[in-house]
Amino acid sequence: MKIDILTLFPEMFRGVMESSIMKKAQENQAFTYQTIDFRQYTTNKHQKVDDYPYGGGAGMVLMPQPIFSAVDAIKQSESKPPRIVLMCPQGERFTQRKAEELAKEDHLIFICGHYEGYDERIREQLVTDEISIGDFVLTGGELGAMVVIDSVVRLLPSALGNQQSAREDSFSTGLLEHPHYTRPAVFQGMEVPEILRSGHHEKIEKWRKQQSLKRTLERRPDLLEDYPLTDEEKKWLDR
């Protein structure tokens, strides 16, 4: 996968993109990325990328020209249209399903805004997706883009040491993940459930599924509304 990030602050991405799983994923050739300061594409002699909004009001609005020009430059070498993601608090709320959808793409372009907002023509004519990571406002789209990129990259083949880990994560199955334990078996009087030490894989799998259902019911019952429960699972939840 190829990822291009349009931002006025490229330096913000270095720590995230060059550490931990993100760094390993690049070493494993799961993806490549580049940050692009779209200020470099402005035709304004003062390198302005924003201006006052028509009609008045507070704040500054990002002008369309620098962003359109930057995207056009990226697309010149592409035979297949990329997916262009606008990070925006007005966008679709980001979910694991959206991450799985984006992980199937060959090329993603992220647009990270600052200031009051974007010229509406950017939304209408340029982007394919508008994404929000939650009902709150950040100073810019960079942090949101990092969150989305991280969740997408970890789903790519060879990004994780064990790809099964991504398939079993919370939300990937439609439920919250079951509890995890490791050594020692007893810590400060607290014991690891005996079933996990039994070596009986079928019983362990059943216990984990029940715990996943229980945790989802307690913490995120809304997720069960669309989850295809079996008759056995319904009875277990009722109990």
Rounded CA-CA distance 239/230 in Å is: 14
State both tokens at 149. 């990129």
Give the DSSP H or E segment for 107: strand 107-111
53, 89, 105, 130: which one is catalytic?
Answer: 89
The answer to whether 72 is a known ligand-binding residue is no
149, 25 contact by CB (below 8 A): no
The answer to whether 138 is a known ligand-binding residue is yes
Peptide bond into 89 cis (omega under 30): no
Indicate if 116 belongs to the active site.
yes
100, 169, 177, 233: which one is catalytic?
Answer: 169
The answer to whether 74 is a known ligand-binding residue is no
106, 78 contact by CB (below 8 A): no
Indicate if 169 belongs to the active site.
yes
Q: In what order do the strands lie in the sheet with 129-132?
A: 32-36, 2-6, 107-111, 83-93, 129-132
Q: Which residues pair with 5 in a beta bridge?
A: 35, 110
Strand 107-111 relative to strand 2-6, pairing: parallel
Rounded CA-CA distance 82/130 in Å is: 14
The answer to whether 134 is a known ligand-binding residue is yes
The answer to whether 136 is a known ligand-binding residue is yes
The answer to whether 16 is a known ligand-binding residue is no
The answer to whether 152 is a known ligand-binding residue is no
37, 116, 177, 233: which one is catalytic?
Answer: 116
Residues placed in the known binding site for S-adenosyl-L-methionine: 113, 133-138
* Catalytic site positions: 89, 116, 154, 169
